[in-house]
Amino acid sequence: MEKVPIKTVMAILVDNRKETAERVQKILTAWGCLIKTRLGLHDGVLDNCSDAGLIILELVGSSEQHKELCEKLNKMPGVKADYMELSFDS
pLDDT of 29 over the 80 cut: yes
Specify the number of domains making up the chain: 1
Write out the residue range of the structural domain in which residue 78 sits. 6-87
Q: In this structure, what CATH number is given to the domain that contains residue 51?
A: 3.30.70.1150
Q: What is the pLDDT of residue 1?
A: 56
pLDDT in tens, 32-82: 999 999 999 887 777 777 889 999 999 999 999 999 999 999 999 999 999
pTM exceeding the 0.85 threshold for the entire prediction: yes
Which class for 42: exposed (0-12), middle (13-18), buried (19 or more C-beta within 10 A)? middle
Q: Is 1 a domain residue? A: no
Q: Is 61 a domain residue? A: yes
Q: What is the pLDDT of residue 48?
A: 76
Q: Is 14 a domain residue? A: yes
